[in-house]
Structure 1
Amino acid sequence: MSIAPVLLQESDPWGRCDKDTPKQQGQIMITPLFTVTQDDEFLYVSVKVSHVRFSASAIEMVVDSELFIFSLNPYYLRLRFPYPLIDDERATATFNSKESCVDVKLPKENRGQEFPDLDLAAKLLARKEEPGPQTASKPLIEELEISQNVEDKFQNVTADLAQEGESHDWELPQAVAEEPQTTIRYGFNNTYNTIVGVSLSNGNDINELGNPEAALPNDRIVERLIKENIKFDPEFYAADYIMHKHPSEDDDKDFAAALVWKSPVTRQFMAWYKEQSQASAESKQQVVPLSFTEQEQQRMLQLPRKSYLIDESYKPQLFVLILSVLFAYNYDMRENQGEHNIESVWTVGKLIPQFAFLDSQLFVPGESHNSILKSAVITGIRRALCYPLYRQYSIAIKAWNDVYYTLRSGKRVVMKCLLEARELFRYHDVYYVYDKIWLEDLCLWVLSDSVSEGSLRQVAHDLKKEIDALQKTEITFEKIDDTQSGDAMMVLDIEEIEAFADQSYAEYLAQN
């Protein structure tokens, strides 16, 4: 049976309420599901109000410039938009009984003005204390998590995509070594402590630090390098190399399928890029268009309400964390040809040095190549040749290229992948600690205006340069030289191992 929508307005377009505080004091208010779309003249807000007995008289709404408030016990929604709206006779609200939602039409103050990021529901949630766009160069107060009943807001600053993007300094600053601190901190913005140590008793075998609560940053690097050298098996790598180069029906690994498989993100970017190359200058887009699913919107809304004070010198470590997470996620996707399995959370965690060794620095400043970006690429490949079932250099390079296409696709695609990677950890009995100390904050930071489309685009270009310039001789491992007495060490690069494998295989064929 079709029921006509119920018109809410009569003489006054809006029911009136206090714009700062929910009317139902002392009650737990629920943030409803909602979507926002637009045309040249109006914003259209659709608020889901299922599981309540609808009453037009019980709804209270208000428009105050950029602020829109909707209240229907037990639902309460407060949104702040980047530009002002008007409360006049054109504003309407109707109840759609078939969809159990209230459809609200809000007139724009300036006809034709484009409101950005309306699909990012978490960015629209507003606090009453939130001022207008930030004018200071740096915030003075960092917000910690507050009640889920108090909505947050991110500044709506439109990214200037006409520019290629801000450049990044991938060199870490050098500092005089400090005495060990009383409390060792780690995780996002070096905020956390004791969490990983507690998880060890529950069987956290992603962690490889002997004492994660006492290891200083430089010590984490050294311990990581030593344990990667120990873990790397030249014979395992040589066997996988020959299996890939000379496949047979008896092989238990299908390297060809893993290499031919195309990431959905990469495939989408390629199709979009081809379209853009043929489009007119007026219709060209800067990023791949993407609409979040209702489930993804829910995941973003469930993020805590925080803001961060991030030092400029620390930002390269956060961008590298994005790269490391995306690399591990894409390597596992490629290894399993697009489907995660029961081992995926362990594989992804092991491939991320920030997880396994709490190492966000990746190299000791003043040593080696002095580029955290290059260190991230090399570290990702080293770990990919030590831990997964498929240990193949070509697969690692393919995964890094998938990361490049993810970044080039734009912030929404990056956010979508990070949310998917986060789901592997979020409800795990043991590994949830890595969501707590890294992924939860990382997703919230990427969602904020602190990460622009231009900055991700520039990181993508810098990453591509490193990938294309990388040589196999740069992927090295130190192993004990069995031909020497004592503890003599030798340095093996994977090009040497591949040459030895080719020679051994040729000798095998000659003998058979």
Structure 2
Amino acid sequence: MITPRFSCTQTEESVVVSIYCPSVRASDVEINVDDTLFTIHVNPYFLRLNFSHALLEDDASSARYDPSTGYFTVTLTKAVKGQTFEDLDLLAKLLAPRASKAQGPLIEVLDSEQASQNDDDELASATESLSLEQREILEAAENDWQVKQELPEPDTSFKTSISRNYGFLNLHSGYFRHVEHAENEVNELGANAETAGPSERRELRLNHEEQKWDEEYYMADYADDEYIKDLIAWKHPHTTLPSEFQYSEEENLAMLRLPRREYLASREQTKNLYLTLLTLLFSYAYESRTTQCDPTPESGWTLGTLTPAFSALDPAPYGPISPDPKSVSSGELLATFVASYRRALTFPLYRSFALAEACRSDVVAFLRNGKRTVLRCLLEMKNILDHHDVYYVYSKIWLDDYCVWIQSASDDILRSLAADIAALNIPKNVLGWDLEELEALTHQTSGREIDSDDEDSEDEIERMLPAPL
């Protein structure tokens, strides 16, 4: 079956689902509404949507097919008039399966083993008396692929394979088995990408950053920063929330192609997902600032190189872990941005602390605007990586899952993170390099050159200082 393109809107009394099903026989359509669940089947298309509130299929409901456009327009009545249906534009969330309903008590205390045996016999007898059609209905209802799942206990047993998992919630493996034959300039682990453990990945990443750190490059960009100042002054279009937010047709299609997955993350894992999200948004902010939202052939390399979770398969946390899994401490935020700042000052074309601060301001604005803006940023990252012959792998192991997960994230948490990040102070000395000393040396060198031409000016030196956040 093919999942068709679709969109949803609402009025005070109805929800309207517009479904693109070209060249079908409208007389063969099957539509069903069951509380919050809506399904439509017309060969070869099938669509199942799970809404946040109940719907009715009554006399006010309707379905109309326009063969000239290929669209089915289905109007469904709200069970409660005036009720607002949330997240109708988050298509992957609508496509997620409905949570199963517990039937009766989950635990029942029986008087004796004999009572249990009697109940089993009674159930067996009742089942045997069912007709073939009733049995098929019962089996179909039970086989809903929505069985209750529990978080697995940590596996402390020894590993029978040298291969390690990585990516979103460590769900992936095998993507780097033949990495030596691919021109992957982002990968810093080399042939060890499949076998290196978390501590080894981090050690390799930090060592690589130290090897690539270039004091002269940093000083040159600090001294000659006219173009960098233009990049800092540029305003990102996603930092301003539009009055009416609406995804484009291309974005809707991208969401329809996302995997249909359900994630069972512990509180600690969820916190780490939010922290790693910050590094993704920082990389996106840097790439879009330096290209002004006009990606270049180098954009995929920039996104991959600036993100520790991509280049070294090394996601957050990067520092001391707070004992409270429900909250993010300032120390955890600081360590997260230190990891991003170090890479922004080591690898890309423009290496400026002030530019990194501007990217952090962008991250604050993205988070403040909520999950819809964050999803738009992730979709744009995904689009860049998906069109690269090699770097698409990072979309598979990270961005596909993040684009699904973020649709169920909490806007309150995102806005709380935005406030904490805006108040965060990142001293230059925490990056591990003598940035202030290098900047002072740059001023001294520039001063001597200006003196030689009799053009010494305190205003000129002041103008060269990075703009504050």
Give the TM-score, by structure 1 length. 0.72
Number of residues paired by the alignment?
Answer: 399
Structure 1 Cα separation of the partners of residues 36 and 201 of structure 2: 48
Q: Tell whether 2:417 aligns with 1:501.
A: no
From 1, 4, 8, the equivalent of 1:36 is 8
Deviation string, structure 1 residues 254-308 (Cα, Å, up to 9, x no partner): 2232111100012x24xx6xxxxxxxxxxxxxxx752111211111111112112
Q: Tell whether 2:272 aligns with 1:317.
A: yes
Question: Over aligned residues, Cα RMSD in angstroms?
Answer: 2.9
From 359, 363, 379, the equivalent of 1:419 is 379
Structure 1 Cα separation of the partners of residues 174 and 28 of structure 2: 48
The structure carrying a bigger helix percent of its residues is: 2
Aligned to 2:123: none
Aligned residue type for 1:209:
L
Structure 2 Cα separation of the partners of residues 101 and 439 of structure 1: 30
Deviation string, structure 1 residues 340-374 (Cα, Å, up to 9, x no partner): 1000100111000111111114536589x993321
| 1:72 CA drift (Å) | 1.9
Structure 2 Cα separation of the partners of residues 438 and 212 of structure 1: 15
Q: Tell whether 2:30 aligns with 1:47.
A: no
- Kindly report which structure 2 residues correspond to 1:4-403, keeping only aligned pairs within 5 A, or say none: 29-50=1-22, 52-53=23-24, 55-125=25-95, 127=97, 130-132=99-101, 182-210=162-190, 211-244=192-225, 247=226, 254-266=227-239, 268-269=240-241, 289-361=244-316, 363=318, 365=320, 371-403=331-363
Note if contact 1:221-1:364 (Cα within 8 Å) is conserved in structure 2: no
| 1:416 CA drift (Å) | 0.7
| 1:192 CA drift (Å) | 2.6
SS in 2 for 1:185: coil
Deviation string, structure 1 residues 26-50 (Cα, Å, up to 9, x no partner): xxx2222122111111111122222
Aligned residue type for 2:47:
L
Aligned residue type for 2:304:
G
Note if contact 2:61-2:75 (Cα within 8 Å) is conserved in structure 1: yes
Unmatched 5+ stretches in structure 1: 1-28, 137-149, 154-175, 248-253, 273-287, 478-492
Structure 2 Cα separation of the partners of residues 192 and 75 of structure 1: 30
Unmatched 5+ stretches in structure 2: 106-142, 147-155, 323-328, 454-469
| 1:452 CA drift (Å) | 1.1
Structure 2 Cα separation of the partners of residues 80 and 214 of structure 1: 40
| 1:213 CA drift (Å) | 2.6
**C-alpha distance 151-418 of structure 1, shift in aligned 2 (>3 A):** farther
SS in 2 for 1:371: helix
Note if contact 1:378-1:475 (Cα within 8 Å) is conserved in structure 2: yes
Structure 2 Cα separation of the partners of residues 364 and 381 of structure 1: 14
SS in 2 for 1:434: helix
Select between 328-337 and 404-413 the one with higher mean Cα deviation: 328-337
Note if contact 1:323-1:403 (Cα within 8 Å) is conserved in structure 2: yes
Aligned residue type for 2:415:
R
Aligned to 2:121: none
Deviation string, structure 1 residues 180-212 (Cα, Å, up to 9, x no partner): 984322211122333224223212110112422
| 1:338 CA drift (Å) | 2.3
From 396, 406, 411, the equivalent of 1:453 is 411
Aligned residue type for 1:121:
L
Note if contact 2:26-2:42 (Cα within 8 Å) is conserved in structure 1: no
**C-alpha distance 56-216 of structure 1, shift in aligned 2 (>3 A):** closer
Fraction of identical pairs, as percent: 37
Deviation string, structure 1 residues 483-502 (Cα, Å, up to 9, x no partner): xxxxxxxxxx2111110000
Note if contact 1:126-1:152 (Cα within 8 Å) is conserved in structure 2: no
Structure 1 Cα separation of the partners of residues 357 and 284 of structure 2: 14
**C-alpha distance 151-457 of structure 1, shift in aligned 2 (>3 A):** farther
Note if contact 2:92-2:260 (Cα within 8 Å) is conserved in structure 1: no
Note if contact 1:125-1:152 (Cα within 8 Å) is conserved in structure 2: no
**C-alpha distance 386-471 of structure 1, shift in aligned 2 (>3 A):** same
Aligned to 2:429: 473
Aligned to 2:134: none
**C-alpha distance 362-108 of structure 1, shift in aligned 2 (>3 A):** closer
Aligned to 1:173: none
Note if contact 1:228-1:382 (Cα within 8 Å) is conserved in structure 2: yes
Select between 218-227 and 418-427 the one with higher mean Cα deviation: 218-227
| 1:411 CA drift (Å) | 0.6
Aligned to 2:124: none
| 1:130 CA drift (Å) | 4.3
Structure 2 Cα separation of the partners of residues 179 and 59 of structure 1: 51
Note if contact 2:21-2:71 (Cα within 8 Å) is conserved in structure 1: yes
Select between 182-191 and 429-438 the one with higher mean Cα deviation: 182-191
**C-alpha distance 89-193 of structure 1, shift in aligned 2 (>3 A):** closer
Note if contact 1:152-1:305 (Cα within 8 Å) is conserved in structure 2: no
Note if contact 1:425-1:432 (Cα within 8 Å) is conserved in structure 2: yes
Deviation string, structure 1 residues 61-89 (Cα, Å, up to 9, x no partner): 22222222222222222222222222221
SS in 2 for 1:184: coil
Say which structure, 1 or 2, has more relative contact order (CA 8 Å, 6+ apart): 1
Structure 2 Cα separation of the partners of residues 102 and 363 of structure 1: 50
Structure 1 Cα separation of the partners of residues 176 and 212 of structure 2: 22
**C-alpha distance 315-81 of structure 1, shift in aligned 2 (>3 A):** closer
Stretches (4+) displaced over 6 A: 150-153, 178-181
Structure 2 Cα separation of the partners of residues 362 and 109 of structure 1: 45
| 1:214 CA drift (Å) | 3.0
Aligned to 1:280: none
Aligned residue type for 2:27:
S
**C-alpha distance 196-56 of structure 1, shift in aligned 2 (>3 A):** closer
| 1:99 CA drift (Å) | 3.1
Aligned to 1:22: none
Note if contact 1:363-1:370 (Cα within 8 Å) is conserved in structure 2: no
Structure 2 Cα separation of the partners of residues 238 and 102 of structure 1: 61
Structure 2 Cα separation of the partners of residues 319 and 426 of structure 1: 23
Aligned residue type for 1:264:
P
Aligned to 2:153: none
Give the TM-score, by structure 2 length. 0.78
| 1:323 CA drift (Å) | 0.8
From 445, 451, 454, the equivalent of 1:510 is 451
Aligned residue type for 2:286:
Y
